[in-house]
């Protein structure tokens, strides 16, 4: 898709590496510049979970890339990096604000080397305002953007770092837009994304409804079963005798009581369901709590209601729809299979493949530097001096 794009990635943790992985999946030549000890997600990763000695966090966000090691604090680091920057379309980074400037790799310095560079930065809080430069990670952003407050009836974080991954997708989108501009005008672009923006973007509809609808904090309160403050009951999650089920809004909600065999529910029209939302939700919960999932499916399925069993990760792994879409993939890590999510978008009916497994630390240092025009002797000199590894 974007085979001609070259990306120099100074990224660590999840947001930056995942953004670069999206671009690599689409065919970009992504060269990841790691410090001598390796990036955080390679060295540590989440929960210390490892496979064949490798961090699984690293394995999940670094496929289809090449790895070089450069000590950015070494006085000769820019000598090594300059020809790589000159050949790159994109420099992608998610260092703390000002960190790369101090190393001579800030936007203005890089643009002086490569005037048409696409310089893409991901930060926690953005580059302006009182929070600029402060550490920003997924959970802090979930808290500050209201996501924790609006999730559940008591403050509850999402069960996975959703802001990190949405932020990665937004950063990749920004790079692709800038690349389209470069191909048509020849101009470079300064691209900036933040976890703050991503956390708010995840709530675009909810925020618009809240502010434009002149709602107050009291409007966010709801029964535990309801999934969203702004969507009519019974939209939510309900316990059954043998499982949990979600019920989404459907045009035939007036028929739900008949479908479930409940005259009590059938007595609520739309106006009553809104005016007595909490009472109605409790009644739905009571009816469903006495039923099994198969009973619910038999009653609601033929009538076209939207519902689904709540799955666990073990269910996801064997889900026939997930399998049909080919969304999980495996690759070998020293004889052990690593299971990861594939690029989730199809192009002409196909998902981008896993061309290469995540690289070993510095695996491509010689290869990349030789391609950048350095002689074998020069590369040996850099290695001996500790500029690269």
Catalytic residues: 164
- Are the CB atoms for 307 and 296 separated by under 8 Å? yes
Distance between CA atoms of residues 251 and 244, nearest Å: 22
Distance between CA atoms of residues 247 and 374, nearest Å: 61
How do the residues of the chain divide into helix, strand and coil, expressed in percent and rounded to 5?
45, 15, 40
- Tokens representing 362 are 């510095």
CA dihedral 76, 78, 83, 87 (to 10 degrees): 150
- Are the CB atoms for 63 and 340 separated by under 8 Å? yes
Contact partners, residue 388, CB within 8 Å, separation at least 6: 68, 69, 70, 71, 80, 362, 365, 369, 379, 382
Beta bridge partners of 92: 9, 120
Side-chain-facing half-sphere of 178: CA atoms under 13 Å: 26
DSSP 247-302: E---TTGGGHHHHTT-HHHHT--HHHHHHTHHHHHHHHHHHHHTS-HHHHHHHHGG
The candidate with the shortest Cα–Cα distance to 340, out of 350, 351, 348, 349, is 351
Place of tokens 């290695």: 383
Q: Is residue 328 classed as helix, strand or coil in its secondary structure?
A: strand
369 CB burial (10 A radius; 0-12, 13-18, 19+): buried
Side-chain-facing half-sphere of 342: CA atoms under 13 Å: 19
Q: Is residue 198 classed as helix, strand or coil in its secondary structure?
A: helix
Q: Is residue 192 classed as helix, strand or coil in its secondary structure?
A: strand
């Amino acid at each position: 898709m974007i085979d001609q794009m070259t990306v120099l990635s100074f990224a660590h943790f999840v947001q930056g590496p995942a953004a670069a992985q999206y671009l690599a999946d689409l065919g970009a030549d992504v060269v990841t510049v790691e410090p001598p000890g390796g990036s955080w997600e390679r060295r540590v990763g989440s929960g210390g979970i490892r496979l064949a000695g490798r961090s699984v966090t690293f394995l999940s966000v670094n496929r289809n890339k090449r790895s070089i090691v450069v000590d950015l604090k070494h006085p000769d680091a820019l000598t090594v990096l300059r020809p790589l920057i000159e050949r790159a379309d994109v420099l992608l980074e998610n260092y703390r604000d000002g960190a790369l400037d101090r190393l001579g790799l800030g936007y203005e310095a890089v643009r002086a080397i490569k005037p048409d560079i696409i310089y893409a930065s991901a930060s926690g809080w953005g580059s302006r305002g009182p929070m600029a430069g402060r550490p920003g990670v997924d959970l802090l952003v979930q808290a500050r953007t209201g996501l924790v407050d609006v999730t559940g009836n008591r403050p509850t974080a999402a069960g996975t770092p959703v802001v990190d991954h949405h932020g990665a997708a937004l950063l990749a989108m920004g790079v692709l837009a800038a690349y389209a501009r470069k191909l048509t005008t020849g101009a470079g672009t300064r691209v900036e994304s933040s976890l703050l923006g991503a956390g708010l973007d995840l709530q675009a509809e909810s925020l618009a409804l809240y502010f434009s609808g002149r709602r107050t904090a009291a409007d966010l309160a709801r029964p535990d079963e309801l999934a969203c403050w702004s969507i009519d009951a019974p939209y939510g999650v309900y316990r059954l005798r043998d499982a949990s089920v979600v019920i989404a809004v459907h045009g035939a909600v007036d028929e739900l009581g008949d479908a479930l065999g409940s005259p009590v529910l059938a007595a609520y029209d739309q106006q009553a369901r809104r005016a007595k939302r909490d009472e109605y939700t409790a009644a739905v919960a009571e009816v469903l709590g006495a039923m099994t999932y198969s009973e619910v499916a038999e009653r609601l399925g033929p009538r076209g209601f939207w519902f689904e069993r709540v799955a666990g990760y073990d269910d996801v792994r064997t889900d026939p729809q997930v399998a049909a879409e080919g969304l999980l993939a495996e690759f070998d890590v020293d004889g052990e299979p690593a299971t990861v999510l594939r690029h989730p978008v199809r192009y002409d009916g196909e998902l981008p493949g896993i061309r290469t497994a995540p690289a070993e630390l510095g695996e491509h240092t010689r290869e990349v530097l030789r391609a950048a025009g350095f002689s074998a002797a020069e590369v040996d000199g850099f290695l001996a001096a500790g500029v690269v590894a």
